[in-house]
Structure 1
Amino acid sequence: MAELIYQTDCYIKDFEAKVTRVEGNKVFLDRTAFHPISGGVANDTGFIESSSGRWSVINVVEEGGDVAHLLDSNPDLKVGDAVRGHLDWDRRYRLMRLHTADHILAAILYKEKGALVTGGHIDPEHAKSDFSLERGEREIFEEAIKKVNEIASTGIEVKIYFLPRDEAMKIPGIVKLAAKMPPDVEKLRIVEIPGVDIQADGGPHVRNTKEIGEVKLLKVENKGKGKKRIYFTIS
Structure 2
Amino acid sequence: MDDTAATDQHGRTTRLELTDQALRDWNATVLHASAEDGIVLDRSAFYPGGGGQPPDEGVLLWGGVRTRIVGARKGDDLHLIPHDDDPLPPVGTSVEATLDDERRTALMRTHSGLHVLCGVVFRDYGALVTGGNMTPLEARMDFNIEAVPEGFKEHVTAAINAEVAADRAIEVRSLPRAEAFAIPDIIRTATNLVPETVEVVRLVDIKGLDVQADGGTHVASTKWIGELEIAKIENKGRGFRRVRLRVKA
Shorter chain as denominator, the TM-score bin is over 0.9
Q: Displacement of 1:179 after TM fit?
A: 2.2
Distance 2:154 2:16 in 1: 36
**What amino acid does structure 2 have at the position aligned with 1:48?**
L
Distance 1:125 1:37 in 2: 16
Alignment match, 1:176: 188
Distance 1:14 1:136 in 2: 45
The correspondence for 1:53, drawn from 65, 71, 81, is: 65
SS of the residue corresponding to residue 244 of structure 2 reads strand
Runs ≥4 in structure 1, deviation > 3 angstroms?
none
**What amino acid does structure 2 have at the position aligned with 1:98?**
T
**Is 1:118 matched up with 2:101?**
no
For residues 79-108 of structure 1, the C-alpha deviation after alignment (integer angstroms, 9 at most, x for no partner) is 222112111111111111111111111111
Tell me the TM-score normalized by structure 2. 0.89
1:90-109 to 2 correspondence within 5 Å?
90-109=102-121
Segments of 5+ residues of structure 1 without an aligned counterpart are none
1:70-149 to 2 correspondence within 5 Å?
70-73=81-84, 75-136=87-148, 139-149=151-161
Alignment match, 1:200: 213
After superposition, the CA RMSD in angstroms is 1.6
Distance 1:132 1:46 in 2: 37
Q: Does the 8 A contact of 2:109 with 2:137 survive in 1?
A: no
Alignment match, 1:15: 26
Q: Displacement of 1:138 after TM fit?
A: 7.5
Of residues 73-82 and 15-24 in structure 1, the stretch that sits farther from structure 2 once superposed is: 73-82
Tell me the TM-score normalized by structure 1. 0.94
Segments of 5+ residues of structure 2 without an aligned counterpart are 1-10
**Is 1:210 matched up with 2:226?**
no
Alignment match, 1:220: 233
Q: Does the 8 A contact of 1:153 with 1:209 survive in 2?
A: yes
Distance 1:39 1:19 in 2: 27
Q: Does the 8 A contact of 2:67 with 2:88 survive in 1?
A: no
Query: What is the aligned length?
Result: 234
Distance 1:215 1:125 in 2: 9
